[in-house]
Amino acid sequence: MGVTPNIAPSMLSADFANLSSEAHRILNSGADWLHMDVMDGHFVPNLTIGAPVIESLRKHTTAYLDCHMMVTNPLDYVEPLGKAGASGFTFHVETSKDNWQELIQMIKSHGMRPGVALNPGTPIGEVYPLVEAERPVEMVLVMTVEPGFGGQKFMPEMMDKVRILRKRYPLLDIEVDGGLGPSNIDMAASAGANCIVAGSSVFGASEPAEVISLLRSSVQKA
């Protein structure tokens, strides 16, 4: 497989009072990206972080900040996140059926990498036009839980979506998010996922480096 493994621990599972030290601890444990869950309390019921927190964290790290935008109006967030220092901007296909072309262009013009996410109930075909566009998204995030809260159980039936995507787009970055850990990483990796978001399984581990290493080797083997 000609894609690179990227392990992206979710900062939603970090100690929010010590984000900088948590980021360094997890990067020193071998993480490739830091996954930032931005929730607006509207698209999902939870309210988490926004541009000010990302801007503060950016002062303490040069790491790739993989921002997952669980928000109703992603266009409103592009400029603030670009200025804050976000690296990737992954919006939900459910919120951008009418303006995804404009959104992708805006994300790129603000120096970020565009991605698209889809909820468990959304058919995989809804992202094809965004991957095949003249200005495409560069990553697809397949949610393996309902978005909005950490600590949920992984939905194995979502691996069909990953398999379909990998077969259709051999070089696409495919990310999975929700309930991922040592017990199910092989299922996700063999389906074709190469970008792995893991929250509780990394931050809750006594040895995060061992978990990150296990996740990465599973993707490499696949």
Is 37 labeled as catalytic in the residue annotation? yes
Does pTM top 0.75 for this prediction? yes
Which residues are CB-neighbours of 86 under 8 A, at least 6 positions away? 36, 51, 54, 65, 67, 112
Q: Are 66 and 90 in contact (CB under 8 A)?
A: yes
**How does pLDDT run across 100-114, given as a tens digit for each residue?**
999 999 999 999 999
pLDDT for the residue numbered 157: 97
**pLDDT tens digit sequence for 122-162:** 999 999 999 999 999 999 999 999 998 777 899 999 999 99
Catalytic residue chosen out of the listed positions 32, 40, 66, 177? 177
Counting residues of the chain whose pLDDT is more than 70, the rounded percentage is 99
**Residues across the chain:** 222
Rounded average pLDDT over 53-62:
98
Of 82, 72, 86, whose CA–CA distance to 11 is shortest? Answer: 86
pLDDT number for residue 183: 96
Q: 7: which DSSP letter?
A: E
Token pair of 67 as six digits? 């921002």
Each residue's pLDDT tens digit, 190-217: 999 999 999 999 999 999 999 999 999 9
What integer pLDDT is reported at residue 152 of this predicted model? 81
Catalytic entry in 32, 37, 40, 173: 37
What integer pLDDT is reported at residue 200 of this predicted model?
Answer: 93
Residues of the chain with pLDDT > 90, as a percent, come to 96
